[in-house]
Chain A
């Protein structure tokens, strides 16, 4: 008899936990993703469930801690510096949903970094012409100056003309080289680098041979709930204070 009571109580407890989880999952999905950081309970719930999803699906590229990998151009997700958007949960969710250059029709795929040392720097845009090795060197000096690092003054002015002129760099990275998160063009005037260590050699590799990183689309491979949990987990690691403050 006592065993039966224990069994019933345990079943009720499991059912209650399951019901609470289902309720929270529904709440999570129906909420405005951008409002979720303000809901400590739902945020904790999502982050708890998002972590194993991150480890299973994202850690292979972004690393277990989400700090990325500058050798392979995998962005650091913990530094609150966003290539696409401004780091709102809804924007993170969109990247997870549709990916970046993932071939999903709704993916972020407006721009690629052309390979200026190749005869056809961007096969998708015949207007972009190659640069000479000297031109590339000048653009690098211009970027060094934009980052406040020592640079050859004469080359800087030539590089500036190229950057804002026939090199076409301004078109994505904007005239001041501060980038454009609406198309995933990185800020080239700060110390954060996506590829390499920010040295002249690393910049040369990017300008000469191009870049076009890919992030897969998960919308058809993961449930909407998983994607939201993942988005909030990524949000939490990029806003370390969020979880402590509960806001």
Chain B
């Protein structure tokens, strides 16, 4: 009896101190190889076969199959060796690839979850200013010499008449500045006209003219032919963009919380002189 217990204890002790991690001799069906028990995925194998040779499994030659498998095994061996050598501690490319991969992994989680319609609608309502069309204007920018200021009518109707009448325009030495051309989106008109003239133009209705605006290069009068202000999109029209923005925000939030979690569980010691 005592001998049996003793043998049992010896066997248990031997197993305990010589045990290796569980290993298998069978390659799972979803993999094409196990390299030190690390699976080499069949999906990746098929994708690589397609990428390298443009063939699927049944059309690949034996040589192509072996070459791809051999390349993947080689890569896995080198990755494992890289981990053993802890190359991440010294190689900046590996470090940045790891940071990037972890961030992408976090983002992937956010993208997989499908938000409810209520959540999307609430996001839309909170950020409605993002979902508007781009305004469009067709405006003429007429420029006059500074000396014409006194002669330019102050009454908008008279001013409109003066600038649309060719002889009067010529008499006042007025000309189209050529800054704008045809219909333009607001952002383009702003670039072409400059901030001050654009601010004046944006508020003009169709057919209206601005007051004379004195700038360093002369007196400007804006003649608005057509002004289509930005229009808010409805939820249905904006939904694809809302979904994209919602997910981007979720990704940012997850990244922040992931970082916060890592910081919380980490033991970070900072040198005295940098505290």
Interface residues of chain A, those whose CB is within 8 Å of chain B, are 25-26, 28-30, 32-35, 60-61, 71-73, 88, 90, 93-94, 97, 99, 102-106, 117-119, 130, 132-134, 195, 205, 208-209, 211-214, 216-221, 223-225, 227
Contacts and interface: CB of A to CB of B under 8 A. Distances in A.
Interface in B169-184: 182-184
A28 B30 CA distance: 9
B160 interface: no
B30 A224 contact: yes
A97 B43 contact: yes
A132 B185 CA distance: 7
A208 B271 CA distance: 53
B229 interface: no
B136 A227 contact: no
B134 A90 contact: no
B240 A132 contact: no
Interface in B42-64: 42-43, 46-47, 50, 56-58
Nearest to B136: A133
Contacts of B57: 32-35
Given A32-B58, A103-B104, 9 more contacts: A32-B57, A72-B240, A117-B134, A119-B188, A132-B188, A133-B184, A134-B182, A214-B244, A227-B43
B114 interface: yes
B75 interface: no
Contacts, number: 108
B111 A99 contact: yes
Interface string B239-252: 11101100100010
Nearest to A29: B29
Contact of A103 (B47, B50, B56, B251): B251
Interface of B: 29-30, 41-43, 46-47, 50, 56-58, 101, 104-105, 107-108, 111-112, 114, 133-134, 136, 182-185, 187-188, 236-237, 239-241, 243-244, 247, 251
Smallest CB-CB A-B distances: 5 pairs: A224-B30, A32-B57, A29-B29, A103-B107, A216-B112
Contacts of A117: 133-134, 185
B240 A211 contact: yes
Nearest to A103: B107
B226 to A, nearest CB: 10
A72 B243 contact: yes
A221 B134 CA distance: 40
A224 B42 contact: yes
Nearest to B56: A34
A134 B114 CA distance: 37
Contacts of A103: 104, 107-108, 111, 251
B108 A118 contact: no
Contacts of B247: 214
A221 B112 contact: yes
Residue among B29, B114, B136, B243 with the highest chain A CB neighbour number at 10 A? B29
